[in-house]
Amino acid sequence: MQLPVLTIEETCERQLCTGCGVCATMEPDRFRMGEALDLGRRPFVKDGAPPTNGEGLACCPGAGLSHAGTERTEAQHEELFDAWGPILEVWEGAAGDQAIRLAGSSGGAATALALYCIEQGGMARAVHTAARDDVPYLNETVFSTNREELLARTGSRYAPASPCDRLDEVASLEGESVFIGKPCDVAAVRSARRRRPDLDAKLGCVIGFFCAGAPSTKGTLALLNDVGISDPTRLKSLRYRGNGWPGMWTAVHEDDAGVEQVVQRTYAESWGFVQRYRQWRCYICPDHTGEFADLAVGDPWYREVRPGEQGSSLIVVRTEKGRAIFKAAVEAGYIEVSSEDVNLLPRSQPNLLSTRGGLWARLLVLRMFGAATPRYEGLRSFPFWVRNLSLKSKLSSFSGTIKRVFKKRLRERIDVTEWTPPKA
C-alpha cells in the first residue's frame, strides 16, 4: 500500500526531495537549505520555526508533478505531448556571442537567451546556479545582471543545486527576472507562482535544461579523490563541462608543494562516474526535458559530435511567451539557428521513451511495497512501457526496483543529517 507523504520533512526522509529549495521560498520562516553529503541540497527546519502552513509541500516537485492547468492549444504538436510535454517548435542553434558559445556546455543557448532577456527584453536579472567562490565543488543560487556575470557562470553543474531558494527575493526586487533551472526546479517555479501572484508578476521567462539526474556532493568528492585530489580544500576551480563541446571535466588545484595543477577527464568519463551517486528521486522522474518551462535547452545528440566542433544547442519552444522571446533573440542575433524540426527532440533523446515506460513499473513496485511514491498527473508512462520496452526490459523494470526498495531502504524514513564542508 502506498504511504502518503504529509510534510516536507517526510519528503526528505523518504527520499523524494529533489533539493530545489521551493519550500524555503514558500515557508522562509520555517525552512533553510543546507548540504546533506549523501543526498544533495536539503531543507532543514530552523530553530524556533513556526508550524508548517503546507505551502512548501503544495509546491514540492518531489511529492508530485501535474500537467493539470497546462494549456493545450492547436499550435502545439499534440502527437508529442504525452511523451515530451507541450511543444510549439524545436530548433538547433547556438549563442551568437562566440565567447558564450565556447564556454557553454552545449552551444550556450540558455546563457544567450538570458542575456537577451536582460539586455533587450526588459528584464533585470537571471536567477540561476553557479559554483561557490569559497567551496568550488558546491553550488549556490546567484543573480546575474550582465554579460560578464553570465559568462563567468556558464556551464553545467553536475552537483546539488537549489535555484528556487531565492524566489522570495525575486518577488521583492524591482523588475522581472529570467529563471534557469532543472526540470524539477521549473516545475516548482510554476507551482509557486500559481500560489503567489507577487512572484508570478516578477518572472518574465523560465528556461529549463535537460537533466539526467543530480548526483550528490559525495559523488563529486569521490571523483576528485579518484583523480588524486584527496584534499578538496586545495581545489581552486571545478568545471563539469564547457569550453568546448561537450567539454572536459576540469579541476584546478594546488599540489603538496603549493603549485597549481590541472586535472581533466572527458565528459563521458566524469558523468559515467558521478551518475552512480544520483539521488533516488531522479530514478523515478518522468520529466527530463523541462516540460513546465517556457523554453528548454539540451544537447542535439541526434548526430555525432565531430572533434573540435563548436557547441550546438537543442532549443524547445514550449509556450507562446517562450516563442516570442526566442524569435526576438534570433532576430537580435543573440541566437543563431541552423535547422527546425520537432522530431529533433525524440531523435536526440531516444532513450527517454523507454525511461518513461520503465517508470510505470517502478511506481507500481513502490506502491506494492509501501514505499513513498510521487503523484504524477498528466505525465503518462504505461503506453511507453507497453510500446518501448523489450520483454527483458519490462521484467528488469520490476526486478530492479524491488532490489532498490531494500538496498536504498525506501520503505523507511532515513536520517537526513546536515553536512558542513571542510575549508582551508
pLDDT digits (tens, 9 = 90+) for 83-92: 999 999 999 9
Looking at the 3D structure of the chain, how many domains does it have? 1
49 located within any domain: no
φ, ψ at 371 (rounded to 5°): -90, 155
- Please indicate, yes or no, if residue 161 is contained in any of the structural domains: yes
Percent of the chain beyond pLDDT 70?
99
Residue 303 lies in a domain: yes
Q: What is the DSSP code string of 77-104?
A: -HHHHHHH---SEEEEEEESSHHHHHHS
* Percentage of the chain exceeding pLDDT 90: 95
CA distance 346 to 386: 18
How far is 109 from 133, CA to CA, in rounded Å? 24
pTM tops 0.85, yes or no = yes
51: in domain: no
Domain containing residue 280: CATH number: 3.40.640
Instruction: Flag whether pLDDT at 235 surpasses 70.
Output: yes
Task: Give pLDDT, residue 181.
Answer: 98
Q: Indicate the Cα dihedral angle 194, 200, 203, 207, nearest 10°.
A: 10
**At residue 1, does pLDDT exceed 50?**
no
Question: How far, in Å, CA of 315 to CA of 91, rounded?
Answer: 5
Judged against a pLDDT cut of 80, whether residue 424 lies above it is answered with no
If you average pLDDT over residues 25-47, what whole number do you get?
Answer: 97
**370: region left, alpha or beta (phi > 0 left; psi from -120 to 50 alpha):** left
Lowest mean pLDDT among 108-112, 220-224, 304-308, 374-378: 304-308
What's the distance, CA 263 to chain centroid? 26
**Whether pLDDT at 306 is above 90:** no
- Work out the pLDDT band at 416, boundaries 50, 70, 90: very high
> Does residue 163 fall inside a structural domain?
yes
**261-280 tens-digit pLDDT:** 999 999 999 999 999 999 99
Q: Is 307's pLDDT higher than 50?
A: yes
pLDDT of 3 reads 54
Residue whose C-alpha cell is 572536459: 248
Task: Name the DSSP letter for residue 242.
Answer: B
Is 92 in contact with 314 (CB distance < 8 Å)?
yes
Q: Tell me which residue range forms the domain holding 158.
A: 86-215+276-348
Q: How far apart are CA 53 and CA 73, in angstroms?
A: 35
C-alpha atoms less than 13 angstroms from C-alpha of 194 in its C-beta half-sphere: 16
- Asked whether residue 175 is domain-assigned, the answer is yes
Average pLDDT, the chain: 96
The DSSP 8-state label assigned to residue 231 in this structure reads: -
- Tell me if 67 is assigned to some domain: no
Separation of alpha carbons 177 and 259, rounded Å: 41
Question: Per-residue confidence at 378, pLDDT binned at 50, 70, 90?
Answer: very high
Query: Is residue 320 in a domain?
Result: yes
